[in-house]
Structures are given as C-alpha cells and as structure tokens.
Structure 1
Amino acid sequence: MDTMPRVLPRAVKQPIFARNYWRRNSWITVGAILLIAILGYFTRWICDDALIFTRIVEQILAGNGPVYNIGERAEASTSTLWQWLLAFAGFVFGQSDTSTLSWMLGLLLTAAGFGFAVSATSRLHGGHVAAMVPCGILALLGVRPVWQYATSGLETGLNTFWMALCWWLLVRLRDSESAKHVVAAAFVMGLGPLVRPEQTLVAAVFLIALWLVAKPTWRVTLAAVAAAGALPVGYEIFRMGFYGILVPMPALTKNASESFWARGFAYVGDFANPYLLWLPLVLCTVLLAGVLRRHRSDRIVTLTPVVAGVLSLAYLLKVGGDYMHARMVLPIFFLLMLPVLVLPAAKKTRVLGVVLLVWAVLCASIGQFVPQDSKLIDDERGYYHAWTGQTYPTESADFTPRMRYLKDALSPRTLIYEDPHERILTARLREDVPSKSMVIGVYLGTVGVISPVDVGVVDFWGLANPIGARFEFPTVKPGHSKPLSNAWLLADYADPDAPVLNPGNFALRADLTADQVAAARHALSCGDLAEIQRSTREPMSPGRFWANLTGAVHRTGVTVPPDPFVAERKFCGNP
C-alpha cells in the first residue's frame, strides 16, 4: 500500500495512442544504440589514467580499502561511482585487474545511455507524430571523440548513462502521479557528485527542474531531498574522515578552485574548431527555438539539459579545461543535444536533418584533431596507440612492456627511480614505510598495475601524492604541472640514516644537495605538513577519523612551496 502522498500531474495526460510513440519510432532508438556501440567498439582503447582506477580496485579487492598505496590514504580517482562500479564488476567476475572490464563496461553504459536519451526525447516530442528526424543524434555521431570516449576505461560512459537517465526520468515525470517516482528520480539525480565532482552542478539543475515539474507536497519534497543527498553527503563525510580533505586529490593537483579563463576558451576552441561544430550547434539552436514555440507546457523540461550544459560550460571555461582533447567538453555537448536528439519530421526539420547528415558524414570521415606545438592538449587515444604499439590498447598488458624493467629491478625495502637517461637509481627505504618497496611513477596508472599491491607507487605529478598535490606551481597543463623533486622524494621515503650524497644509493640530480633533503625532511615534521602526514598515514581509528573530519576544511586549503628551504621557513618558522 502506497502511504506516500500523490503528486498531481503538471500537464494534462496525452491520449493512449500518443503514449505509444516509441513503438513507431523505436528504430531510431535501436539505430542510435547500435551505431554508438559499433563505432565505439572499432575505436576501443584505454589510457594510462584508466589504469589508476585498476590499481585502486586491486587495493579494494585485496582488502586494503579505496587507496592507491597501502598505509597512505589518498583519493586518486575523480569518479567515486566509477571506482566502486569497477570494484563490483571485478568482484563478480573474479578479476582484480579490471582494465579490460573498464572499456567493456564503458561501452555498455554509453550505448544504454544513448538508448535512454533517444527514448526520452522521442517521448517528449513524439505525441501522435508518425515520423522523427535524428537531428541531435547526427550531431553527436559526427564527432569522433564521441565514439572514442565511449570506451577509454574512464568514467565517460557512466557519465553519459547518468545524464541520459536523469533526462529520461525528468521526461517521464510529466505523466506520473507517483510520489515514489519523484523520490526515485531525486535519488538518481543526486548521484551527480559521485559520478564526477563537477556534475554537482548538473544534478542541482535537474533537481530544481524535477521540483518545478512535479510540484510535490512538502512531505514528498523532504523525502526527495533526503534521497538526493543520502549517498553524496554520506560519502563526503566518509571522504573527510578517511582521507582528511574535502575533494579528491586530483582537484588539489589541478587547482580546481582557481580561474584560468584564457586556457578554458582555448580548450573549448580546440574541441569545436577541428570539427566545425559551429554548424551543428547553430542548426540545433534553430531547431530548439522551434521546439520551444510548439511545446510551451514543456519548456522547463526541454530547457533543463540546456541550462545544465551552459552552466557546465561556464565552469569548464573557468577552471581552464583539461589536457585531454575533447574529454571534458563531451558531457556538455551531450547535454546540449538532448532536447533535439530526435524531432518531428516537419519540412524544415527534414531540410536541416539532411544538412546535418552531410556534415556528420564529412566530419566523421575527415574531421580530426591535430595536436598543436604547445602540447598542452593531447590526443590521448593517438598517443597511447603509438606508445603501446597496439591498434586497440585495451588491457594493462599492452602498457607494461615499456616499463617491465621496473618490475625486474624491484627488491625489498628499496626506493626505485628511473632518471631521464633510463638509469635505475635506488635508495634504502625508511623503516616505517608499510610498503615493502616504493617506485616513483611518471605514468601513474602503468607503474601502478605493474607493481603488486604491497609495493608503493610515488606519483611524480601529485595526483596521488598528498604533498605534491599541494605544491604552489602554476597550472599550465592540468595534472602535469607539479613535478615531485628528488629532494622531497628522498626526504619523505628514504632512510635518513643512509648516506645522503651517495649516487649508488640515491636518485640524485646534479642540482640536489644534502641541505635540500634535510630542509624538506624538517618541513615534513612541522605544522600543517606534519598533520597532513598524520591524516593520511596514521592508522585509522575513531579519534583519527574525527580529527580528519574536523580538520578537512583547513587541510584542503594548505599549499606547499616546492622549494624545500621556503617550505621549511613556512611550516617550521625561521631558525
């Protein structure tokens, strides 16, 4: 018996024959699913960043928790839900190495997302219309990165699926009277922060639209708010208590709170220009304007993904984009296309659909990204295709041959590093480090899957390093602007009783001195840096959890001068 109050429908229900629109136009939905699945399969790949998730999943399945290294609580992944979804898949299929599963699951979720999205848009515009034109579908499928990031091993497929499901639920709520549907939709929409932190903005827009469309009573509203916030708020409390900060570690590394407008516009232009996206965007804007004139009662629903996409674009411009070509713009592009994926086959729609079809065929055939000399934005798929020598790099074994020597060189209680000339240099590991040995990794994912879970990996770029992530370097290339110097490496992990300037024992650069190592080691023992070390390495207990929780706000704002002497003065005071 449903004891929850009913929600009055916002609009008059459509007649029975109008609700069966999907049966007459199901070929479009099926066609969209098959096309993205086929195109995604023939461009399948994973990248080094995907292997970061693989490493974390290995730690989870080994019983060490959601960490990158044993004994160091650093949240290296930016998609909590993707991380745990992969862990669940690995548990079900009995595979701790989920690299192959990641691209398969990503492709499955992308195809399912296209299915939900097209079905919802058909339902929104279909009514009694007998034929539809796949306008927005053509715009999406004409752009190669849409196919390529259908796999990649990253959370893009999950992102697509979540946005499509939110859209489907919102459209469905126009014809629903059930309070349970409102609460269930709120729960799904509230998952945005766990899909990716920036999807909090998209989730907020959809939740507001849900309230405006459903007009629930205050009791249902409270239930919906509780449902939307349950998992994100619960996990944020866990994050603060377990990791000791407010956001995933990569957000600190990329200085996500700062503004880089010029770089952001360059990043978006880097996506739009190679594919002449101004043409489909202009045409789809014209089509959207026509839709808004026809469907006055559905304007809120129709504009919701557009508003979410525009606000997300503004945020992306502010934070300066990313170093992966197209990756961070694709969710925005998908949102903007949702209301016009399919449209009733009027005369103008057919004409514009033909123009979009010609553009899509030409763009898919000849439109491609050409990396610039600055190398600030990379063609990730092309890079790893060349780097691994594989047409379809889809498993961790495709990446490991380039660094197999690290595994061969591994020995207990040793810190291992490869210098620019590919020489293996070592230092004796500090006694209290729980890992049996440590390796510094420039390719964090690849080195992580080579190394067993009881071997620690020090991230050269700071994505999983609590100290390196806080360096006060200017962000030029996001995620690749904070190199960890040997002074900090040795100060943090090397045995302090070993000779400091012994090239046979330490990975030393010519500019490294014993005084630098000593200054860095002293800085790590003082003030906020000492507390950061305790928050990530001290054994977890109720007291430690509470200390992490209450100090998370302050700890998140701590920055570290990369110069050991400056850092020593900042955290330890003047001698």
Structure 2
Amino acid sequence: MFNTDNKALARWSIPASALVIGVLSLWGGFARRWISDDGLIVLRTVRNLEAGNGPVFNVGERVEANTSTLWQYLILAVRWVSNAELESIAIYLGLLLAVAAMVVGTWASASMHSGIVLPAGALVYVALPPARDFFTSGLEWGLCLFYLAMLWWLLLQWARPHRHARGNSAAYWLAFWAGLSWLIRPELALYGGIVGIVLLISTRSWKVLAIALPLPLGYQIFRMGYYGLLTPHTAVAKSASGSEWGKGFTYLGDFIGPYWLVLPLVVLVVAALWKAELRPPQLRSTASAVYLFVGTAVLHTLYVLRVGGDFMHGRMLLLPLFAALLPIFVVNLRVWVASVACAVWAIIVALRGHPVDPAVYDSDISIVDERDFWTHTTRMDEPPRHAEEFLRSEMMHGYTDAIKELEDGDAMTFRYLQDDGSPSWLATEGDPSRTDPPTVYYLNLGLTSMNAPLDVRVLDEIGLSNPLAARQPRIEGGRIGHDKSLGMPWQVADSAADIDSVPFWIDKDAARKARTALNDADFQELFATYRDPLTWGRFWENIKFSLTDGRTLSFSSDPGSYLD
C-alpha cells in the first residue's frame, strides 16, 4: 500500500517524529506545570545546601529526606548559575529533562527501523495526564525519564553489530551511565544493575566495573558515614519490605482504568510482534536490548505492585511504563494502523483528562490525583507553583503567626481545630533546660518547611524527615507511604516544649514517660548517628551502624516498654 523503503522519507521521518513528540511533550508539560508538596521537600534540602548546612533537611540533623541524590544537586547547580527562584528551577528543569527524554527516546527507537517511522508508544505516554503532571511537580521524574531514555539510547549504540568495530567505547559509556542509576533513584538500580551484568558477561572485562562503580560506590560510603544508612531515609520511613499485592493491584486499576490504557497497549504489542524476529541472534543485539528493557520494566512493575503502589495517582507506574514503551515509541509505516489507533486514543484521553469529583477530598482517600488535590486545597484556579501559594490552604491558616512565635522563643507549634471547627496553629512555651530547636510537626513537610526559616526544625509523624518516626511499627492497612505514625507524646518528648504548658488534648503523663524513655540506649544510639558532630570517629561508627542495627532497628509505640 505504501512505499516504506523510500530512503529520503525514511531519513526525514526520524527527526519529524522526534519533533512532533518534543512539541507535544513541551506543550503538554508546560500547560500542566505545577509543584507538589513533595517537590517542596527537595527544595528545603537545596536551601540548606546553599546556606552551607550540608545535604540535610533540618540544621543539625543529618537526615536524607530526598529519594534522588542527583536531583537536589542539579537544582543547586542551576541556582548557582542563574540565581532563579527554586520553585521555577525545579519546575522548568524537570520539564526540560522530560522533553529531552521523549525526544531522545523517540530518536533512539526510530533508529531501530530501516524504513519510514511514525510515532506510536510515545503518543500513548505523553497523552496520559499523570505523565504530563510529573514532567514537572518539582520531583525527579523528569530526570528519571531522561536517565532511562539515555540508557536506552546507549544500550542500542552498544548493541548494534555495525558498531562493534569501533572498540569498547560504547560499552564504557554505557557502563558509566548504568552506574549513575543508584544516584538518580534507588529502584533505577534495577535497570543499571541488569545492564551492568549484561556488559560484564559480554565484555568479560574488569574495566566495566572500574568505570561503573567509583561514583555510586563513593557516594554510598559517604551516605553510610554521613547519614548512618544504606539507603535514603525515605526507604526506612516507607519500609518497602512487606507484601501488599492487593493494594498494588488496586493502584494498578486506579491508573489504567480511567484511560482504558489496556487498549493502546494491546495494539502496541501486536504491532511490535508483527513479523518480528523474536529470537536474538546473540547477546549483543538489538533484540536482546529490547528484551532487557521490557523485562526489567516488568520486574519494576511487579515491585511496585508488591509494595502496594503509592498514594499518588499513577506516579510509581510511570517509570516502568515509560521503559516498556521505549522500544515501540515509533512503529514502521507498515503498521501505520497502530500509530493511527494510538493517536486517536491519545486525543480522546488528552481531551478528557482525569476528572475528579472534589467531594472525594472530604473523606479518607488512599490514592489521590496530587495535582488536582492541591489545586482544590489551595482554592485556586491554577495549581500551585510557589511555596507561598500553599499558605492559601485551610490547613495552613495561622501558620505564619505560629512561626513568628517560634522565632520569638516558643518551643513547638501544634495544629488544632478551633471552636468553630476551622484549623489553626498554636505555639507552646519551652523548657529552659532543653536545647532542642523550635519545632514544627506536620504530615505535609514541603509546605511547612518551605514557609519556615532554616533554624526552625520541621518534622513529620510518618518519618520522612524524622528517624524516630521512621522506626515506628507499621499501621496494618494504613495508606501506602503514610503507614507509620509517631504519637503526640513522643513528638512533645523529643522537643524543647515545657510539658506542663502543652495543650490540654495532649497526654502530659504519656509525654513525660516518652521523654524518659528517650534516654534508653537504643534511642541514644540512633540520635548519635544523625545529631552528634560529624568527626572521623562518628563517620566510622555510622558505617558500622548502617551495616548492623541501622538495617533493623525499630521502636515500640508504647513509652512504657522502655521504663522499669
């Protein structure tokens, strides 16, 4: 029907496809640009880095509250060069990387074909509302997409037989990029690790390890000595060690159901298998690269399902979906029907969006469209793009006044409900014998921390910035990612608050018991890892802790368990 081998058209179809996808990605991501509360958490760490306090969330406490190591440093680097607003850097840097990922992925996949190509899988990804939401958001998703796209491109460069004569440079570049996976996001080590294993088997050269390992290994030693942990602290807080398959499949249904995502995926699978050579001729081949990426994406998806998914709509499934779609970002003109079907589906999904009934926010919800939620909560027509816009939320009413009271000498501030049922914040006096910094406790760390000075300690009860909370027992049936909770008595105990002055709704006797319990050796050992001054001795003790008790230490929620 079509002349699929026209060399001139085939040559031009590659940049044309990349341009179309790039424009759609830029337009779609820009139109839905925003910053999330979790994105603001990253910026608090960047503020501390900029102030010379180190890669910490709170001054004087070495806690790695961000999952991505490189993302915070990229934002800092752009800040140094441009002096732009941190929120804008996080939004537009993420968008730039996401668009670059879509273009690189399209170009790389198009290069697998000898004839004219048309966009297909790339249209499916860019049409999804959560995909475009997380092109920005302030989180590292744009960086993760760029990492995967570049890994795919480098893998194809290495895999092509006609490239073999050019020596091992392709293998070395691929090895270096694979090694970065752990620093971008821990679960991406699945992709980098499997690629590294394939490289080792293929090249049988120690040079692959010599190139891949120094940077991640060096940072890992730093992490163990500086923070006293093997992983980012978020992994301790979220304890992804249990199996939550039921919640995982609920999360999967919440993602694929609203968009009928199965339909284009079936079309793409059929298009990919149409007259395909399924048996790879050798390990170092394009077919092997496809199997590697798709297989790793399946493993990644199974991991997400096993841990119960996430509390943000679609977020944790976006990366494995992107990786699985990369090999079929474009299709040959011979299967043009697949491209047309994907385009029609994409138009319908993009126009329909992800409608959410605001009434759901008045009840307990386990999975939320985060962008829509914060647009609704901040009572704006557009989603928030600056930290101060989160102050419009009802939950932040009275917060700025409470922060001023902390700056004037109070020890701790509490969120409470006033007589009319509206929320506000109340500060309490300090105990002169205590030296703890003024403290804020709240579930949403981003909006509280970015609207507070750096000398105010901002903690959460679920443990992202709080090692004491992170080692509490998991709440059975709790919301994924939010299934730990440090009780109010413990919060008061680990602060400078005068227990006699705390609000009446707090159990003062329990708070006194908790403060006494904190003298227990296990608590003191934990506190030492992140609060003691960082000397060489402390550094080596932290490494020892990270390999021993740091992997398993947990606390009872009952202060009485530690009292004679």
Q: 1:94 to 1:507 in 2, by over 3 A?
A: farther
CA deviations over 1:432-471 (Å, ceiling 9, x no partner): 6464x22223321111111111221122321100100111
Unaligned runs of 5+ in 2: 1-5, 419-423
Indicate whether 1:140 and 2:120 are aligned. no
How big is the shift at 1:481?
2.5
Task: Please provide the CA RMSD for this pair.
Answer: 2.2
Indicate whether 1:394 and 2:385 are aligned. yes
Q: How does 1:370-389 map to 2 (within 5 A)?
A: 370=356, 375-389=365-379
Q: 1:472 to 1:179 in 2, by over 3 A?
A: same
The match for 2:421 is none
Give the Cα–Cα distance (whole angstroms) in 2 for the partners of residues 32 and 344 of structure 1. Answer: 16
Which residue of 73, 76, 98 maps to 2:65?
76
How big is the shift at 1:513?
3.1
- C-alpha contact 1:486 1:509 (8 A) present in aligned 2: no
Give the Cα–Cα distance (whole angstroms) in 2 for the partners of residues 369 and 257 of structure 1. Answer: 34
Give the Cα–Cα distance (whole angstroms) in 2 for the partners of residues 104 and 467 of structure 1. Answer: 35
Give the Cα–Cα distance (whole angstroms) in 2 for the partners of residues 388 and 250 of structure 1. Answer: 26
Give the Cα–Cα distance (whole angstroms) in 2 for the partners of residues 233 and 122 of structure 1. Answer: 35
Of stretches 97-106 and 21-30 in structure 1, the one that deviates more from structure 2 is: 21-30
Q: How does 1:527-546 map to 2 (within 5 A)?
A: 527-546=521-540
Identical-pair percentage: 33
Unaligned runs of 5+ in 1: 1-16, 570-574
Which residue of 165, 169, 181 maps to 2:150?
165
- C-alpha contact 1:275 1:363 (8 A) present in aligned 2: yes
Which residue of 466, 481, 484 maps to 1:482?
484
The match for 2:411 is 414
Indicate whether 1:152 and 2:152 are aligned. no
The match for 1:549 is 543
The match for 2:42 is 53
Which residue of 297, 300, 305 maps to 1:317?
305
How big is the shift at 1:316?
0.6
The match for 2:495 is 493
Q: 1:135 to 1:359 in 2, by over 3 A?
A: same
CA deviations over 1:213-270 (Å, ceiling 9, x no partner): xx32x4xx31221222222221111111111111112111111122111111111111
Q: How does 1:172-211 map to 2 (within 5 A)?
A: 172-173=157-158, 174=160, 175-176=163-164, 177-211=166-200
Q: Secondary structure at the match of 1:282?
A: helix
Give the Cα–Cα distance (whole angstroms) in 1 for the partners of residues 306 and 432 of structure 2. Answer: 42
CA deviations over 1:517-560 (Å, ceiling 9, x no partner): 23212222112211001111000000000000011132231111
Give the Cα–Cα distance (whole angstroms) in 2 for the partners of residues 108 and 19 of structure 1. Answer: 30
Q: How does 1:305-344 map to 2 (within 5 A)?
A: 305-344=293-332
- C-alpha contact 2:414 2:426 (8 A) present in aligned 1: yes
The match for 1:303 is 291
Give the Cα–Cα distance (whole angstroms) in 1 for the partners of residues 365 and 135 of structure 2. Answer: 24
In structure 1, what residue type is equivalent to 2:312? Answer: M
How big is the shift at 1:108?
0.1
CA deviations over 1:134-177 (Å, ceiling 9, x no partner): 11122112211111111111001001000000001111112252
Q: 1:18 to 1:537 in 2, by over 3 A?
A: farther
Q: 1:336 to 1:552 in 2, by over 3 A?
A: same
Indicate whether 1:364 and 2:367 are aligned. no
How big is the shift at 1:206?
2.6
Q: 1:508 to 1:492 in 2, by over 3 A?
A: farther
Of stretches 394-403 and 465-474 in structure 1, the one that deviates more from structure 2 is: 394-403
In structure 2, what residue type is equivalent to 1:509? Answer: W
The count of residues paired between Structure 1 and Structure 2 equals 533
How big is the shift at 1:294?
7.2
- C-alpha contact 1:535 1:544 (8 A) present in aligned 2: yes
Give the Cα–Cα distance (whole angstroms) in 2 for the partners of residues 22 and 389 of structure 1. Answer: 50
- C-alpha contact 1:209 1:301 (8 A) present in aligned 2: no
Q: Secondary structure at the match of 2:412?
A: strand
Give the Cα–Cα distance (whole angstroms) in 2 for the partners of residues 19 and 552 of structure 1. Answer: 59
Give TM-score scaled by structure 1 length: 0.88
Give the Cα–Cα distance (whole angstroms) in 1 for the partners of residues 23 and 336 of structure 2. Answer: 22
- C-alpha contact 1:385 1:392 (8 A) present in aligned 2: yes
In structure 2, what residue type is equivalent to 1:354? Answer: V
The match for 1:255 is 239
Give the Cα–Cα distance (whole angstroms) in 2 for the partners of residues 416 and 254 of structure 1. Answer: 25
Give the Cα–Cα distance (whole angstroms) in 2 for the partners of residues 563 and 556 of structure 1. Answer: 21
Give the Cα–Cα distance (whole angstroms) in 2 for the partners of residues 431 and 120 of structure 1. Answer: 63
Q: How does 1:393-542 map to 2 (within 5 A)?
A: 393-401=384-392, 402=396, 403-410=399-406, 411-412=408-409, 414-421=411-418, 422-428=424-430, 433=435, 435=437, 437-474=438-475, 476-494=478-496, 498=498, 500-501=499-500, 505-510=501-506, 512-514=507-509, 516-542=510-536
Q: 1:274 to 1:24 in 2, by over 3 A?
A: closer
In structure 2, what residue type is equivalent to 1:192? Answer: S
Give the Cα–Cα distance (whole angstroms) in 2 for the partners of residues 278 and 84 of structure 1. Answer: 38
How big is the shift at 1:296?
4.4
Q: Secondary structure at the match of 2:306?
A: helix
Give the Cα–Cα distance (whole angstroms) in 1 for the partners of residues 291 and 174 of structure 2. Answer: 18
Q: Secondary structure at the match of 2:427?
A: strand
How big is the shift at 1:295?
8.2
The match for 2:22 is 33
How big is the shift at 1:384?
0.9
Q: Secondary structure at the match of 1:439?
A: strand
Give the Cα–Cα distance (whole angstroms) in 2 for the partners of residues 268 and 113 of structure 1. Answer: 24
CA deviations over 1:457-516 (Å, ceiling 9, x no partner): 122321100100111032621332323322111211125xx4x33xxx314525x132x1
In structure 2, what residue type is equivalent to 1:404? Answer: T
Q: 1:548 to 1:406 in 2, by over 3 A?
A: same
Give the Cα–Cα distance (whole angstroms) in 1 for the partners of residues 7 and 336 of structure 2. Answer: 22
Q: 1:66 to 1:433 in 2, by over 3 A?
A: farther
Structure 1 segments of 4+ aligned residues over 6 angstroms from their partners: 17-20
